[in-house]
Amino acid sequence: MLRFLPLRTRVLATTAAAATSKRTLSIAAIAPRNALRNHSAATSYMQRQWTLPAFRANVYAAQQLRTMFIQTDTTPNQDSLKFIPGVAVMSDSSTAEFLDARNAMGSPLAKKLFQIDGVRGVFFGPDFVTITKDQDAIWQLMKPDIYSAIMDFFASGQPIISEGAEGENVHDDTMIHEDDSETVQMIKELLDTRIRPSIQDDGGDIEYRGFENGVVKLKLKGACRTCDSSTVTLKNGIENMLMHYVPEVTAVEQAFDAEDEVSQLEFEKLERRLMNQ
């Protein structure tokens, strides 16, 4: 049986149906735009996921840069300072020394340090960097640039010595060989275990160059190379210890490379010229 609704009820029903139809049309019209928006959001999410590792790396580098605290320590050489970054500098207790910008090309950090006015030499120890400056250079003017160079380098993640580069010394000079005499073996052991750590505390290092006729020849590096008390270090420190433990040792002498001998001669000439004035 058919039932007719009153006029007012039919009008309301018609209006409700129209409104429902309108909402349906509106949703249908909005759907493509929502799809585009969802696609854009998905694409943006994928891009964020893709760049997240790089972003995290940059954040980590920035955090490392901000949290690195570099300490300085004096050395017996007033023209040399130890910079201690709080992280390992050289691996396997090895060392490296660079005396000019040309030799520093094999190390990104040494190359950057030599770009600072006044830097004369760079020495890398196991956990420190020794900077030697020109005599007329001022530490207070150089320190900010040195701090910045060291922090930027360790934040970059680069190797401190480029592969195949020269300058690194892995302390094979004190490695004991089968043909070494008992005396040489004792000398090398003392140098490596008792003397080298003390020299490195002063921002330098030693290199064994030979033993002949009772004389031990050593090369000083880092802060000890140009130190005014290097002779005292050799004679009163190293020589006394070696003579005490190894009776065959009668003296210790400093060994020089060809360029060191030229520099030493020029220094002696300058010293005599100043004394005659």
pLDDT classification of 247: cutoffs 50, 70, 90: very high
Instruction: Show Cβ contacts of residue 218 under 8 Å, excluding neighbours closer than 6 positions.
Output: 191, 206, 207, 208, 209, 234, 238, 252, 253, 254, 255
For residue 127, what is the DSSP state? Answer: S
The pLDDT, as a whole number, for residue 260 is 54
pLDDT in tens, 198-233: 888 989 898 999 999 999 999 888 888 777 666 677
pLDDT classification of 184: cutoffs 50, 70, 90: very high
Mean pLDDT of 16-41: 44
**pTM tops 0.75:** no
pLDDT in tens, 29-43: 444 444 444 544 444
Q: What is the 3-state secondary structure (H, E, C) of 45-95?
A: HHHHHHHHHHHHHHHHHHHHHHHCCCEEEECCCCCEEEEECCCCCCHHHCE
Mean pLDDT of 11-27: 42
Percent of the chain with pLDDT over 90: 41
Residues 103 and 167: beta-carbon distance below 8 Å: yes
Better pLDDT: 63 or 106: 106
Nearest alpha-carbon partner for 107 in 153, 170, 61? 153
Mean pLDDT of 124-138: 94
pLDDT in tens, 45-58: 444 444 545 445 44
